[in-house]
Amino acid sequence: MTSPRARQHQAGFTLLEVLVAFAVLTVTLGILLNLFSLAIQTSRTAQDQQKAVLLAESKLAELDAGATLRPGVERGEFDDRFAWETRIEEYDSRALMDNQTLLLPYRLSVVVSWSDHRRYELATLRLVRTEAR
């Protein structure tokens, strides 16, 4: 049997200490959950950006592989989330080239857009012989 004096020396947590520990734990877990949520959102955004770059490069390669280029705009969709727009236009080359050349530059551009008004644009120039027009 324990004496009253021995009971006084037994250590334990008070209700206040337990409540403070739970409050600290709650705040810490809330911060950690926000960090994980932000990390997932950032990862998803980076993944969408990477997919848009690959889709734009693919569409630009498709344009570049075509036999003839005609100025104009085309639009379409890759899937439910990504849309594309291609633009082919004659490039003003008077400042770059003399008028005697048989090459005419075309500007090829691809814009891939997806949710939240995000977009990625890729553009290049392609030289075309004037006889092939």
pLDDT score at 1: 53
> How far is Cα 106 from Cα 87, in angstroms, rounded to an integer?
10
Q: Which amino acid is at 129?
A: R
For the stretch 15-32, pLDDT in tens is: 898 999 999 999 999 999
Q: Which one, of 110, 131, 111, lies nearest residue 119 by Cα?
A: 111
pLDDT score at 133: 46
Structural domains of the chain ordered from first start: 14-132 (2.20.130.10)
Say whether pLDDT at 38 is over 90: yes
- Average pLDDT, whole number, for the chain? 83
Neighbours of 63 (CB within 10 A): 19
How many angstroms separate the first and last alpha carbons of the chain?
107
Q: What are phi and psi of 67, to 5 degrees?
A: -70, -45
Q: Which one, of 103, 70, 109, 105, lies nearest residue 91 by Cα?
A: 105
